[in-house]
Amino acid sequence: MPRFLRLTREGAGETERPAPERLISGDPVFTTWNIEERDGLYCGIWQATPGKVRLVYEEWEFCHILEGHSIVTEDGGEPRHLRPGDSFILRPGFKGTWEVVETTRKEYVIRL
């Protein structure tokens, strides 16, 4: 097993749509290139096309935006516009919305 992994979008990635009860608007398509998956840790690249979904986080996630424009709004909070170069953490218990304005790609690390 290699000890060095580069985050790339090699291969087709896994494609899915949000669960109908989470969809607010649009017809977003999510593509995930999960590079590392072990012991409750997930790391890779995620991409979404325009649309708006409801978020309910039970996990901890670090994100770094590579491309696009999204707006994440925590329930009762102000909208956060996210663009390339922005990094942030979503903590367990986060509830709100994620609106993809322009197709967005991010690197992520998730800890369950």
Task: For 57-92, write each residue's pLDDT tens digit.
Answer: 999 999 999 999 999 999 999 999 999 999 999 999
Q: Return the minimum-mean-pLDDT range out of 10-14, 16-20, 74-78.
A: 10-14
105 assigned to some structural domain: yes
6 assigned to some structural domain: no
Query: How many structural domains comprise the chain?
Result: 1
Q: pLDDT-based confidence at 12, cuts 50/70/90?
A: confident
2 assigned to some structural domain: no
How far is 17 from 20, CA to CA, in rounded Å? 8
7 assigned to some structural domain: no
Please indicate, yes or no, whether the overall pTM of this predicted structure exceeds 0.85.
yes
Residue 18 has pLDDT above 80, yes or no: yes
- Domain that includes residue 63, residue range: 14-111
H or E element at residue 51: strand 51-56
Q: What is the pLDDT of residue 11?
A: 81
* Assigned token pair, 18: 């949000």
What is the CATH classification number for the domain harbouring 22?
Answer: 2.60.120.10
